[in-house]
Structure 1
């Protein structure tokens, strides 16, 4: 596990990959969204989980629109991450339905309105599909740098019920190796438009 990456190197990886994502054509994004679902269907966690958290696409991340439609058709309970208004730097999760009232958070990302919905702890979700900037085949994930998921999922270092974690990404986001810190939560799998990486 490599923990020697400097802050500058992490920022360089983020900058490079975000630039590559922004250059993808609309048709490629739409096709990748469909192929992402095909990859996810190879995961037993995805097939059998009833309570699944998914992010709404932002910052040119791989599109979750086809995934969300599939989960609705299969009558899964869908949850979206929400910035917790009281626990700074943490996420909570709120059930997402067609009638859910939405608002923009401080980053301009659409999320369920915390004032009109009941939030759920990550402990009680079966599967969390996570956004990321980069990943490697050891299950290491590089996010945007805010640490929201790391803080929210810190309980996974302790015994007890825990969700399965699957990263969603374009294949171009895969790196040979990424730094791993003691507080990082490794992914169980990563799904791209090309394949499902099961982490052992």
Structure 2
């Protein structure tokens, strides 16, 4: 079953990748503007003091640049992904995991260098000076962040994905970074409000769904590139 699930996810990623390759920069820019306007008007976003935002690739997904800028200008604490390898993973731990580390300012954001995916990423030598969302200062490379401190947790996490469905399922890029990060949140500081950003081409038809298993975490809300906000029933 696990093998067939992996194969189904891989096939769907391939299909969506093909659809996105035909999408123009202008179309992505228009959908980004629509989705950003909707996200910034959400009460959960407005009330959040601690927010995690993915930093977008140059193409093929909703850009989060204006979300990051707005959140910083509103005085929110903004945390962005940083992935690293664990030196000695224990049972149940992946080889590489993701932490959310604090972004200090718009200038800091603009100075980030792009990784091999074209995603703006904090430099390794800057990590020790950045708080992470679990409440500790920096992280020890190779070791998973420990228990949450008092000033910890996230109110909202803005999540990327390859594909989404109308049941709030999400297909990532296959590394499992977000699902494992949310598993750690659930154990320590509490689960944040989870909102996905989707180009309309990434949302599957109502009769189709993302292949999911018990480790896949569903969203609380989905904002699409036509500006529509969908909410999961409580």
How far residue 43 of structure 1 moved from its aligned partner, in angstroms, is 2.8
Segment of structure 1 superposing worse, 155-164 or 190-199: 155-164
Aligned residue number for residue 191 of structure 1: 223
In structure 1, the gaps of 5 or more residues are none
Shift of the 5–188 alpha-carbon distance from structure 1 to 2, 3 Å rule, reads farther
Q: Report the 3-state secondary structure (helix = DSSP H, G, I; strand = E; otherwise coil) of the residue aligned with 1:92.
A: strand
Aligned residue number for residue 6 of structure 2: 7
Question: Residues 168-188 of structure 1, C-alpha deviation per residue, up to 9 Å, x if partnerless?
Answer: 111221122122211111111
Question: Residues 124-177 of structure 1, C-alpha deviation per residue, up to 9 Å, x if partnerless?
Answer: 121110110111122211001011111111135558622111111112211221
Aligned residue number for residue 35 of structure 2: 36
- If the length of structure 2 is used for normalisation, what is the TM-score? 0.74
- d(CA) in 2 for partners of 1:106, 1:170: 22
Shift of the 79–8 alpha-carbon distance from structure 1 to 2, 3 Å rule, reads same
Aligned residue number for residue 124 of structure 1: 153
Aligned residue number for residue 109 of structure 1: 119
- If the length of structure 1 is used for normalisation, what is the TM-score? 0.85
Please identify the structure whose Cα radius of gyration is greater.
Answer: 2
- d(CA) in 2 for partners of 1:178, 1:65: 27
Is the Cα–Cα contact under 8 Å of residues 153 and 189 in structure 2 kept in the other structure? no
Segment of structure 1 superposing worse, 157-166 or 15-24: 157-166
Question: What is the RMSD computed on CA atoms of the aligned residues?
Answer: 2.5
Aligned residue number for residue 90 of structure 1: 97
In structure 2, the gaps of 5 or more residues are 88-94, 135-151
